[in-house]
Structure 1
Amino acid sequence: MTMIPTLTTERLMLRPPVFADYPAYERLMASPRSVYMGGPFDTRGAWGMFASDLAMWQLFGHGALMIDVTETGECVGQVGINHGPLFPEKELGWMIYEGFEGKGYALEAARALRAWAFEVRHLPTLVSYVDPHNARSIALAQRMGAVLDPDAQKQDPEDLVFRHPAP
């Protein structure tokens, strides 16, 4: 059985998902904000994605972690490393719940999980698949030092693929 890590940063705790996280996750996936991830999704679709986030830990040794603000304990989103038949390469992804954007949580969480992926799991590469209309995620990938890789295989035909630098 793969142990799901808990990672900490200056302001955040990245922890394994639990069932109590699902309602907020489902709300995001049902909202228009999920359009950049192929949504909006109905309950069946949202549940399948939530369950897949956990299953990836057993299948690949990586998956999703919830993002909690250490000071308040409030869950503000999720960061994960995705793979499987829907992702041509291992993908670093993030999502922040409504009302928590613009505070740097996604950047801090994504940097921490990326460091874990390279330093602990020794992954040779990571990409982020970004909808070309998702300006916030494009900016975040660029702030992380990821560069556009026009030759990379895409998850969706319209995606931009940002390749993350290994340390």
Structure 2
Amino acid sequence: MTVIPTLETERLRLRPMTIEDWPAYEQLMKSERAAHMGGPHTTESAWGMFCNDVALWALSGHGALSVDLLETGECIGQVGINRGPLFPEYELGWYVYEHAEGKGYAMEAALALRGWAFNVRGLETLVSYIEPDNARSIKLAERMGAYHDTNASSLDPDDLVYRHPVKQMA
């Protein structure tokens, strides 16, 4: 049985998703803000994605974690590792809700989960699939030390692939 980790950083707690996370998740996925995640989505497709994020832990030993502020317990977003039959490689993804943007939370959460993936899960590399017009995610990936890997495969041929090498964890 897979144990879903709870990780803490200076300001954040990354924890297993709960049904209480669904309303904010649904709202985001149905909005124009989901454009970089294949959206906006219907309620039905958003629910399927939410369930996928949870189920991946049991099926693959990785998945998504909700991101809470340690100080208040407020859920401000999600970070996750995705890989199933649709993804050529393990993908590290992230988002924060609009009111939490610009405070470094996405990077803090992504670095924590990346560290877990390399140091605990034993992955050798991760990629982030990013749409070319998603400048904020490109900038975040680059600040994390990821580089644009023009030789990597992607499910969507228009996506840029940013590779997070293990050496960044040293």
TM-score (norm 1): 0.98
Structure 2 SS opposite 1:132: coil
Instruction: Tell me the equivalent position of 1:14.
Output: 14
Take 2:160 and 2:134, find their aligned partners in 1: how far apart are those partners?
Answer: 10
Instruction: Tell me the equivalent position of 1:117.
Output: 117
1:21-60 pair list within 5 angstroms: 21-60=21-60
Take 1:130 and 1:50, find their aligned partners in 2: how far apart are those partners?
Answer: 20
Instruction: Tell me the equivalent position of 1:63.
Output: 63
Asked if structure 1 preserves the Cα contact closer than 8 Å seen for 2:124 and 2:165, the reply is: no
Percent identity, aligned pairs only, is 66
Instruction: Tell me the equivalent position of 2:82.
Output: 82
1:85-104 pair list within 5 angstroms: 85-104=85-104
Take 1:85 and 1:37, find their aligned partners in 2: how far apart are those partners?
Answer: 18
1:107 to partner: Cα distance: 0.1
1:155 to partner: Cα distance: 2.3
1:72 to partner: Cα distance: 1.0
5+ residue gaps, structure 1, are: none
Take 2:155 and 2:91, find their aligned partners in 1: how far apart are those partners?
Answer: 10
Take 1:86 and 1:69, find their aligned partners in 2: how far apart are those partners?
Answer: 32
Take 1:34 and 1:132, find their aligned partners in 2: how far apart are those partners?
Answer: 15
Take 1:129 and 1:144, find their aligned partners in 2: how far apart are those partners?
Answer: 14
Task: Letter of the 1:76 partner, please give it.
Answer: I
Take 1:143 and 1:86, find their aligned partners in 2: how far apart are those partners?
Answer: 27
Take 2:128 and 2:52, find their aligned partners in 1: how far apart are those partners?
Answer: 18
1:86 to partner: Cα distance: 2.3
Q: What is the number of equivalent residue pairs in this alignment?
A: 167
Structure 1 SS opposite 2:67: strand
Take 2:137 and 2:84, find their aligned partners in 1: how far apart are those partners?
Answer: 22
Backbone CA RMSD of aligned residues: 0.6
5+ residue gaps, structure 2, are: none
1:157 to partner: Cα distance: 1.3
